Chain A
Amino acid sequence: MNKILAIVKKELFRFLTDKKLMLTTVLLPGLMIYGIYSFMGDGMANMLGTDEDYKPIVAVYNLPEDLNTRFKLLYMEQTDVSNLSLDKAKEEIAAQTLDLVVYFPEDFSKKIEEKSGLPEIEIYYNSVNNESAKIYQFVANTLTTYEDSLANAFTMNSKGETYDLASDEDMSAMIYSMMLPMLLLMFVYSGCISVAPESIAGEKERGTIATLLVTPMKRSDLALGKVISLSVVALMSGVSSFLGTMLSLPKLMGSEIEGMSAAVYSMMDYFLLFLIVISAVLLLTAVISIISAWTSSVKEASTAVSPLMIVVMLIGVSSMMLTGERMSTLFYLIPVYNLVLCMNGIFSFSYELSQIFVALGMNLVVTAILVVILTKMFNSEKIMFSK
């Protein structure tokens, strides 16, 4: 026990006092993700959004009496068209000095009344101009509603209430449960690969592990000490990336969903999530440690762990295809995949505690088996002293 502690202390000292390494593996990932997502979110909002106070300028020709009230309700300014020819108005639309032209045929009302033929309304707009595109939508909607009212069979969603009843919670849950399991898994994985190859393959490469192997320490103590300490560092890196994502995802999605926030989850949700992440870190660190122990240099180890990255990513992506249906507990016995299931469940408020504990237990068992394998590898002269 004391020796495991000594190893853990030494490894943590190695990583935590290394400012450069801390910066690149712990501080930067979180900051970068926060920065990039926020920037992307702001950018998208700017691109799609319009100036709230701007009153679009619209040229309306031959507006029928019936539509007068409906058009007055629209937030726009009708310009005087007595001196503006249609062609001139179109030019102004192209030049973005005018936002919309609505042209009713002169006999519009008459044709409607007599039900003779289909009168054509022409609406000119400029899709590059956000304000123009927006007011085009409003006018088109108004006209469609007017058309519906003429037919007068039934109306739909015309009372101006909020008909989309999804709550902020549901919206957040959907987005988070689609994106975060994959992102989290990748963050944890990249946290692991930034420290484990260095600490195990690196020690082999530099010949410093032999110095440890001639001390009367149990090989299992060494394996456990390494896995625990590397997990701590990987966890720090993972948590940093996670915080960056959690805090900036609402900004990234903000242009589409209002009221999205990481605050919809309870402390219990976060606590369970933390347990899941810890078990993910332990499991992945053990896997990468084994790969690192098997290779003979940091470079070789980094090459060897990249195919696994693809597998982990694919498993992560599978969270996007989960339909929210409850899966059989058997699926929670599959290591790594069960992490995705659990995280998806937590983010979409549809988990069952017993299944999460099955997954946690299973991952712990697998990690223990991997540590035993690592111990055997530390014991094998062929593996430890092969170059």
Chain B
Amino acid sequence: MKTILHVEGLKKTFKLSKKQQKIEKTKQKLKVAVNGISFDAYEGEIFGLLGPNGAGKTTTLRMLSTLIKPDEGDALVDGFSIVKQPEEVRARIGFLTSELKLEDYFTPNYLYDFFSDLHNVPKDVRDERKKELFERFEIDKFAEVKVANLSTGMKQKVSLVISIVHDPDIIIFDEPTNGLDILTAKVVTDFLIELKNSGKSIIVSTHIFSLVEKICDRVGIIIDGKLVVCEKLDTFLNGMNLEDRFFQLYEETVGGLHE
């Protein structure tokens, strides 16, 4: 199995404001969001990053997509360093998170073409892919409606389609089904499985257990900025269901839920 993503010792800290220091009763000026995470993801698998809110999942993915720079450590995406070759990395990944918004003024059709240009997609390839993706996600009927007037779910579908205009080999999705109704969520999860079957590598972060159980091949569990487990889903579960196994692990690591 080819390693498509190699993460080594990623660390990211944020500055705390004076007020926040008081709330947390700490004199430390820095909050460690991600504390030395290392893992590998392989070609053609879906790797799930699972963890509670605030554990550092999104920060990790933002570093992998080169939106922010790690304080320490590095990661190689298809052999390219996120620190030294961010443009190469960006050309190879599709990144989707709720933080990335689309401009209200434009139509899905216009934005698709615009982002295709930014990704150097040739015109004929672009048009063919657009037709396919718009049909698949039922955007075709809304192709000329301004983003401002689209429903939340439709906006998210357009965002998803636009994040993969360049047909990337590595796809990084932060909470891919958040805020979607079950029908749309199913369209998205089915699509992820289909992408995997066509040989793409996918990294998703989520706090939704059922999603992990349904689609992930391997799973990494982040608690308080540290990766506590990283292995095959089956190996990790060891016959238990994911929820029970997670609580067991959480108690082992943090020591009980209500402390």
Which candidate, B28-36, B96-104, B196-204, B213-221, is the interface stretch facing chain A? Answer: B96-104
Question: Residues of B contacting A210 with CB < 8 Å?
Answer: 67, 99-101
Is there a chain A Cβ closer than 8 Å to B88's Cβ?
yes
Q: Is B95 an interface residue (CB 8 A)?
A: yes
Q: Quick check: is B39 within 8 A (CB to CB) of the other chain?
A: no
**0/1 interface trace, chain A 1-14, chain B, CB 8 Å (1 if under):** 01100100010011
Complex contact B68–A13 (CB within 8 A): no
Q: Is A161 an interface residue (CB 8 A)?
A: no
Q: State which residues 202-242 of A face B: CB under 8 Å.
A: 203, 206-208, 210-218
Answer yes or no: A18 CB below 8 A from chain B CBs.
Answer: yes
In the complex, which residues 1-45 of chain A have their Cβ closer than 8 Å to any Cβ of chain B?
Answer: 2-3, 6, 10, 13-14, 18
Q: Which residues of B contact A217 (CB under 8 A)?
A: 87, 118
Query: Which B residues touch A213, using CB under 8 A?
Result: 67
Cα A216 to Cα B66 with chains together (Å): 10
The CA of A13 and the CA of B107, in the complex, are separated in Å by: 12
Known: A18-B105, A206-B104, A215-B115. A2 touches B120 (CB 8 A): yes
Are B118 and A3 within 8 A (Cβ)? Answer: yes
Interface residues of B in 66-89 (CB under 8 A from A): 66-69, 87-88
Contact A14–B101 (Cβ < 8 Å): no
* Cα of A385 to Cα of B100 in the assembled complex, Å: 11
> With A and B bound together, what is the CA distance between A385 and B69 in angstroms?
12
Bitwise, B31-72 to A at CB < 8 A (1) or not (0) is 000000000000000000000000000000000011111000
Indicate with 1 or 0, residue by residue over A91-133, a CB within 8 angstroms of chain B CB atoms: 0000000000000000000000000000000000000000000
Closest to A202 in B: B103
Q: Are the C-beta atoms of B118 and A381 separated by less than 8 Å? A: no
A212 to B105 alpha-carbon distance, docked (Å) = 15
Residues of A within 8 A of B209 (CB): none
Q: B106 in the interface, Cβ–Cβ < 8 Å?
A: yes
Q: Is B191 an interface residue (CB 8 A)?
A: no
Q: A218: which of B68, B87, B99, B120 is its contact (CB, 8 Å)? A: B87
Q: Is the CB of B95 within 8 A of A214?
A: yes
Contacts of B115 in A (CB 8 A): 211, 215
Q: Mark B111-152, 1 if CB is under 8 A from A, else 0.
A: 000110111100000000000000000000000000000000
A213 to B, closest residue via Cβ: B67
The verdict on B237 contacting chain A, using a C-beta distance below 8 Å, is: no
For chain A, residues 179 to 207, give those with C-beta under 8 angstroms from any C-beta of chain B: 203, 206-207
A14 touching B68 in the complex, CB below 8 Å, given contacts A212-B118, A215-B118, A218-B87: no
Residue-wise interface mask of B (158-190) relative to A, using a CB-CB cutoff of 8 A (1 in contact, 0 not) = 000011000000000000000000000000000
**CB distance A208 to B102 under 8 Å?**
yes
Nearest B residue (CB) for A10: B114
Contact (Cβ within 8 A) B67 A381: yes
- Are B102 and A211 in touch, CB under 8 angstroms? yes
A207 and B97 alpha carbons, distance in the complex (Å): 11
Complex CA gap A208/B87 in Å reads: 19
Residue of A14, A215, A381 with most partner-chain B CB within 10 A: A215
Q: Given contacts A6-B114, A216-B88, A217-B118, is CB(A385)–CB(B68) below 8 Å?
A: yes
Name the A residues within 8 Å of B65 (CB-CB): 214
**B147 nearest in chain A by CB position:** A208
Question: With A and B bound together, what is the CA distance between A348 and B88 in angstroms?
Answer: 55
A216 touches B119 (CB 8 A): yes
CB pair B90 A381 closer than 8 Å: no
List the A side residues contacting B66 at CB < 8 Å.
Answer: 214
* Residue contacts A-B, CB under 8 angstroms, 5 given: A206-B101, A211-B115, A213-B67, A216-B119, A217-B87
Interface residues of A (CB under 8 A from B): 2-3, 6, 10, 13-14, 18, 203, 206-208, 210-218, 381, 385
The list of the 5 closest CB pairs from A to B, nearest first, reads A216-B91, A6-B117, A207-B101, A216-B90, A215-B118
